[in-house]
Amino acid sequence: MAKVSILGVLSNIQMLVRTALIGTCVGTDAQGNVYYKCKPRKGTKQERRWVMYVAETEASLVPPEWHGWLHHQTDVVPAATGKYRQPWQKPHQPNLTSTGRAYFPPGHALKGGQRAAATGDYVAWQPPK
């Protein structure tokens, strides 16, 4: 079970209240994440943009087309049809670092393997004496 701090709970509640009061819904991506905007802060010109995640808060869950909109790289709101997706773009994969499903190359110590011996063309660097 994950630890929950009172500050983390308060920040989530504050974000929900702020979204309900001042946020304007712009769109939803294929995963169900909802994107919002509101007027700029005093003294700035760029509108504020943010995402409310449908599941866990994980930045890698934002598709590339919405990432560009969130970071003011484009003002074009991606269509729900996914017409900005290219055929060569792969579907999202979560970041598995520090999980039981993390990738370890062949021979990695945590995978229980032995690393292959170095070939004759490799010479280890030695510091100058």
- Write the pLDDT tens digit of every residue in 15-64: 778 788 888 899 998 889 999 998 888 898 989 999 988 888 888 888 88
Instruction: Tell the residue number behind the tokens 């945590």, with chain if given.
Output: 110
The residue among 80 and 87 whose pLDDT is bigger is 87
- The boundaries of the domain holding residue 77 are 7-82
Say if 54 falls within a structural domain: yes
pLDDT given for residue 2 in this prediction: 52
3-state SS record for the chain: CCCCCHHHHHHHHHHHHHHHHHCEEEEECCCCCEEEEECCCCCCCCCEEEEECCCCCCHHHCCHHHHHHHCCCCCCCCCCCCCCCCCCCCCCCCCCCCCCCCCCCCCCHHHCCCCCCCCCCCCCCCCCC
Say if 96 falls within a structural domain: no
Say if 58 falls within a structural domain: yes
Say if 98 falls within a structural domain: no
How many domains is the chain partitioned into structurally? 1
